[in-house]
Amino acid sequence: MTKAVILGTGSCLPERALSNADMERMVETSDEWITSRTGIRNRRIAGPGEQNYQLATKAARRALAVTGIKPEELDLIVVATISSHMIMPSTACFVQAELGAANAFAYDISAACAGFTYGLDLASNYIQNRPEMKILVIGAETLSARINWEDRNTCVLFGDGAGAVIVAGANDGRGVFGSNLRADGKLWNLLCMDSPESCNPDLRQEDWQGAFIRMNGGDIFKHAVRSMEDSVTSLLRQHDLTIDDIDLMIPHQANIRILNNLRERLGIPEERVFVNLSQYGNTSAASIPIALDEAHRQGRMARGDIVLLCTFGGGLTWGSLLLRW
């Protein structure tokens, strides 16, 4: 049976790094607080020439270069993002133009930090129907533009970046073989970001707080651990696997305490969980594809390995996905 295989990965991070020491000069915080509560030490912040679509395009070029596939061979470009530089056109259309991927249709999806995993599942479903397709899936964010830099509860957590994968059909046992994706819109206000004022006809000017990320960190923390554990456990059960069958878990990189909690509940040893959060912070939809690219370049996955992705984010959205590398 044809499955969606990742043929190549790529990523792109902005040049400028903002350390915890830099954060200490901006808000009332400390390196000790940030490191011990989150595990984050640095984050990258986009500057001129590093728009969301430009980071996305560079990540895509790197992924294409690995595969030898030419932009004009792509059939579809999906960009998972919640920080496009324009509402219309989509970031995917800008990437399509930059790459010269003349034969690809292109659109964005919005599922916050879960966006890339949703996108990979989407690509896998396209491949079931049209196994000849070549699909570029990207997670790209420039959330630094949507952060209130005076709010210490959020500004220390997030960073910018992009990661990309090239997906195509194969019949050799590799590829995506299961997913468990979930959402609960009733919990939308635990983690949200307003649209520009003009998009909300019900908005009372005095209620306007700016189009910034707002979050109830404690509730998100608890939900993240429980929901990812539930999703992974049911996905493994559905495929007659146990956590011992997983060669590498690549979780959404939000907080080291969330990851340690999840790891302990699932019973997976530290060396089988990929973590790069200390350098980039939470890059939302970009976090898993950046981690996937780094894990790939570090030789952390061998052909035939079972890789588990798991994620959660605003929406709320969450889920997990299994693939044989």
How far, in Å, CA of 182 to CA of 288, rounded?
17
Told to judge if 199 belongs to the known catalytic residues of this protein, a careful annotator would answer no
x/- letters, 122..141, toward ligand UT7 (CB under 6 A): --------------------
Active site residue: 20, 180, 255, 282, which one? 282
The one among 61, 221, 230, 275 contacting ligand UT7 by CB under 6 A: 221
The one among 7, 220, 228, 323 contacting ligand UT7 by CB under 6 A: 220
Our CB check for ligand UT7 shows the closer of 90 and 282 to be: 282
Our CB check for ligand UT7 shows the closer of 64 and 147 to be: 147
Active site residue: 252, 255, 261, 296, which one? 252
Query: What's the burial of 237, exposed, middle or buried (CB within 10 Å: 0-12/13-18/19+)?
Result: exposed
Can you read off the two tokens belonging to residue 106?
A: 């292109």
Task: Single out the segment in contact with ligand UT7 by CB under 6 A; choices: 128-136, 172-180, 212-220, 293-301.
Answer: 212-220
Told to judge if 192 belongs to the known catalytic residues of this protein, a careful annotator would answer no
Restricting to residues 27-86, which ones interact with ligand UT7 according to CB under 6 A? 29, 33-34, 37-38
How far, in Å, CA of 201 to CA of 317, rounded?
26
CB 40 within 8 A of CB 20: yes
Our CB check for ligand UT7 shows the closer of 96 and 282 to be: 282
Tell whether residue 217 is a contact of ligand UT7 (CB under 6 A).
Answer: yes
Query: How are beta strands 76-80 and 134-141 bridged, if at all?
Result: parallel
Compute the least distance from the CB of residue 215 to ligand UT7, in Å.
Answer: 6
CB 285 within 8 A of CB 122: no
How far, in Å, CA of 52 to CA of 56, rounded?
6
Compute the least distance from the CB of residue 213 to ligand UT7, in Å.
Answer: 8
The one among 99, 106, 215, 322 contacting ligand UT7 by CB under 6 A: 215
Q: Which residue, chain included where needed, has tokens 């707002």?
A: 214
How far, in Å, CA of 11 to CA of 285, rounded?
12
Give the three-class secondary structure for 211.
Answer: coil
Active site residue: 12, 93, 113, 310, which one? 113
Task: Single out the segment in contact with ligand UT7 by CB under 6 A; choices: 73-81, 95-103, 210-218, 301-309.
Answer: 210-218
CA distances from residue 256 to 19, 35, 37, 126, 270 in whole angstroms, order as listed: 17, 9, 8, 34, 11
Q: Which residue, chain included where needed, has tokens 């959660």?
A: 312
Task: Name the CA dihedral angle for 274, 295, 63, 282, rounded to a multiple of 10 degrees.
Answer: 30
**Residue with the CB atom nearest ligand UT7 in the bound state:** 217
Give the three-class secondary structure for 164.
Answer: strand
Tell whether residue 309 is a contact of ligand UT7 (CB under 6 A).
Answer: no
Compute the least distance from the CB of residue 279 to ligand UT7, in Å.
Answer: 16
Told to judge if 252 belongs to the known catalytic residues of this protein, a careful annotator would answer yes
Convert 221-248 into a string of H (helix), E (strand) and C (coil).
HHHHHHHHHHHHHHHHHHCCCCHHHCCE
How far, in Å, CA of 310 to CA of 180, rounded?
9
Restricting to residues 95-124, which ones interact with ligand UT7 according to CB under 6 A? 113
HSE-up of 103 (CA within 13 Å, CB side)?
A: 9
Restricting to residues 183-202, which ones interact with ligand UT7 according to CB under 6 A? 191
The one among 51, 90, 255, 320 contacting ligand UT7 by CB under 6 A: 255
Our CB check for ligand UT7 shows the closer of 19 and 67 to be: 19
Tell whether residue 282 is a contact of ligand UT7 (CB under 6 A).
Answer: yes
Residues lying near ligand UT7 in the complex (CB under 6 A) are found at 29, 33-34, 37-38, 113, 152-153, 156, 191, 215, 217-218, 220-221, 254-255, 282, 313
Which residues are known to be catalytic? 113, 252, 282
